[in-house]
Amino acid sequence: MTRIVQNRAAGKPLELICLPHAGGSALLYRRWAEHLPPTVRVRPLELPGHGARRALPPHTEWPALIDSLLLMW
């Protein structure tokens, strides 16, 4: 990963998309940015039915889940 981060240093930051484990919350990633170089942007995404989005029904099919996550982007 070091080489990837160094190669991106001059351009747009590398976006690290973080999805929590089953039953987890995106809060798990809240302090990751402190431990990564500024060339990495941590993007925790909350899945429907979890954490702050727990009121939403969880998706059972990939296309619906991907569409939901893209709206958060």
Whole-Å CA distances, 57 to 31, 34, 43, 46, 67 = 27, 32, 22, 13, 14
Q: Is the pLDDT of residue 44 over 80?
A: yes
Q: What is the DSSP letter of 12?
A: S
Residues spanned by the domain of 52: 2-72
Banded model confidence at residue 70, pLDDT cuts 50, 70, 90: confident
Helix or strand or coil: residue 53?
Answer: helix
Count of domains for the chain: 1
Decide if 32 contacts 24 (C-beta within 8 A). no
> Is it the case that residue 2 has pLDDT exceeding 70?
no
Q: Do residues 40 and 17 lie in contact, with contact meaning Cβ atoms separated by under 8 Å?
A: no
